[in-house]
Amino acid sequence: MDIVLAEEDQKYLDGQILLINKPLEWTSFDVVNKLRYQLKRKLGVKKLKVGHAGTLDPLATGLLIICTGKLTKQIDTIQAQEKEYTGIITLGGTTPSYDLETEIDNTFDFSNITDADIYKTAASFLGESEQMPPVFSAKKVGGKKAYIEARKGKSIKLSPRSILISSFSIEKIEMPNVYFRISCSKGTYIRSIAYDFGVKLENGGHLSQLCRTKIGDYSLANAHEIDGFVKNLWEG
């Protein structure tokens, strides 16, 4: 006998786009797995296609787009759209992962860096450029994810990729922290932006905070917290 679902539930099988605010330290797949499990239980089905449109690192928060059912076919189209992020670049130190996943390995004196230097450096990123991905990334090297090999201490050789930065504004400067907002193309590593920011200042830089605020026309302002979404799912 076929299962007859209420219209509110059937929509998830037919296909929905869900906007979720990814929590800190969750992987993107953690979110997908959590929602898939809850949706399958609620719908009483054994299989349900669920995927995300664009990975966020565990130490990043913000907009994660989840697609269900037939709309998983739109994932490639969605994740190809321009993305906006806010965050903090911390100067005066580098880390192997370019963020706080690993500890600081080199420190620098940042006392001579001026606000004007910082604004000028941000402007220098605008337009098209070649970016080297961080070795602590999901890029495949010899069929294996780079970060897995990097965590083993192995030498990783990656190739640069073309990116486009359409806007890069400095929101606030509280040395050594530089608060920014950036809009960029698919495949841009903001951790690499943070590292390269330090290099251009002849200093060190790493990403200490990141939040994705937009993907195309989709906004974090319209996103659900995971617990809130699950509660609404069950309580209707």
Whole-angstrom distance, CA of residue 54 vs CA of residue 211 = 13
Handedness of CA 18, 21, 23, 28 (dihedral sign): positive
Task: Decide: helix, strand or coil at residue 176.
Answer: coil
- The answer for residues whose C-beta is within 8 angstroms of residue 70's C-beta and 6 or more apart is 14, 15, 49
Nearest to 188 by CA among 100, 119, 126, 105: 126
Q: 86 with 183: CB under 8 angstroms?
A: no
Our answer to whether residue 57 is catalytic in this structure is yes
Phi/psi region, residue 24 (left: phi>0; alpha: psi -120 to 50; beta: rest), is beta
Among 57, 109, 115, 217, which one carries the catalytic annotation? 57
Give the active site residues. Answer: 57
